A and B are shown apart, each in its own frame.
Chain A
Amino acid sequence: MEITQVSDLPYSCGRSEDELWSRLSMPPDQHELGCPYCQAQRQRLAPLAKATTQWKIGNDSENEADTALLGSIRGRVMDGIKAEIRRGTRFTLRITTLGTLRISGYVLLETLREVVDSIRGVALRTHKILPGSHPESISMSINLALEAGEDGVRLTNGIRDALRARFAQAIGISLDDIDINLEDVFHDF
């Protein structure tokens, strides 16, 4: 059995394997072009460099797959939570001969906020939807802040009109009482 003596590092040219390894992804420099030791080492290390590169790519794609999976799970959890929030409080839209049509309080609140937020001179504060005087109606209670200098009566009448119009157009439910309370005044700086 023949025993091959492995030469000690650094190589005979004085460059360490670490140095050569760190330069493997780059083209050979002037020294390496003229150095038989470095050329031999480059050749020897090339398969290892290739293998580690492939392993790294493989590992990255696994991570990407994990990230995608995690994202998909997170998305589904959020969808579930959102659906549950929407399922919270329901109001009857209409009772027909075929069954009951209902709407989530979440949709009603969303519609309310859209309307009030579109009106200049007021800022929406606390607000809630309440059952109306009959099954197919709702009432509202809205607290607002009024911009200094604005006409509160004109604005609240405008809000009521806008709410009735929007709820008729988008929802189809009738609005009973719309209680509006101006609780604060703000200055638009």
Chain B
Amino acid sequence: MTSSSQSIPAKIRMLAIQAARQEPGVREIYAPTHSIWKELAGKKVPEHDLLRLSWRGDSVSAQLDIGLLKDANALEVAGMVQQRIHAVLADYLENPDALNVDVTVL
């Protein structure tokens, strides 16, 4: 636990993304819309952008879109990914209770 500032360093976001990737059943992590179009416009998009973060007051919202392997159970895998991301980010935040992690299976 180190900070509750209005940002989470890129390396922490990367750790969360890596943790999500390691979950069995995850085939891919979808880039957010703005990243896709930015990349097409020739701008380099950092990988930590895959995990979207937003703040409202003290609460932090993290969002990740994942694609699954054929035989994976969507609810189980999404739940495990949510736990993994929460564990990484909560370790960094002063108030982990204010953290919401939303995972969408696309």
Contacts and interface: CB of A to CB of B under 8 A. Distances in A.
Contacts of B74: 93, 103, 107, 170-173
Contacts of A76: 36, 39-40
A103 B104 contact: yes
A101 to B, nearest CB: 4
B105 A99 contact: no
Contacts of A106: 106
A98 B37 contact: no
Nearest to B100: A99
Interface residues of A, number: 27
Contacts of A52: none
B82 A107 contact: no
B105 to A, nearest CB: 4
Among B79, B82, B102, B104, chain A packs the most CB atoms within 10 A around the CB of B104
Contacts of B104: 87, 90, 101-104
A142 B27 CA distance: 29
A96 B40 CA distance: 36
Among B61, B71, B83, B106, chain A packs the most CB atoms within 10 A around the CB of B106
B48 interface: no
B5 interface: no
Nearest to A103: B105
A173 to B, nearest CB: 7
Interface in A68-117: 73, 76-77, 79-80, 83-84, 86-87, 90, 93-94, 96, 98-104, 106-107
20 contacts: A73-B40, A76-B36, A77-B40, A80-B37, A83-B36, A84-B33, A87-B33, A96-B79, A98-B82, A98-B83, A99-B61, A99-B103, A100-B100, A102-B78, A102-B102, A102-B103, A107-B74, A170-B73, A171-B73, A172-B76
Given A84-B33, A86-B106, A101-B82, 9 more contacts: A80-B40, A83-B31, A94-B79, A96-B79, A99-B101, A102-B78, A102-B104, A103-B104, A169-B73
